[in-house]
Amino acid sequence: MELIQKYNYAELKKKEGASRLYLTPDGESLPSVTTVLSKTQDKSFLKEWKARVGEKKAEEIVANSSAIGTAATFIYRTFSEQTCIRRFNASGH
């Protein structure tokens, strides 16, 4: 599989805070997709789930799930970057 770069996207800088924002090249702040989705969805089911499993168990599950997500993201990014580098080196470009 060959990497095709159809568009030349500018690098966006992250601005951390209560929610993640990306700063565009012209200085505009835009929320991440995750931030937008989290602000627009009904979370009443989470309260029901926490009541069912208990607050302490819910916190444990959330912490474990977060760690798994962080590790998966790291693995994905590392694999993607290494794959692109190998293809880049193999093609001589």
Question: Is pLDDT at 18 greater than 90 in this prediction?
Answer: no
- Round to the nearest angstrom and report the end-to-end CA distance of the chain: 15
Q: Where are the domains of the chain?
A: 10-41, 43-93
Does the pTM exceed 0.85? no
Helix (H) or strand (E) run with residue 30 in it: strand 29-31
Please say whether the beta carbons of 84 and 91 come within 8 A. no
Contact of 15 with 23, CB cutoff 8 Å = yes
Q: How far apart are CA 90 and CA 63, in angstroms?
A: 40
Spatial contact of 20 and 31, defined as CB atoms under 8 Å apart = yes
| pLDDT, tens only, 44-54 | 999 999 999 99
The fraction of the chain above a pLDDT of 90, given in percent, is 27
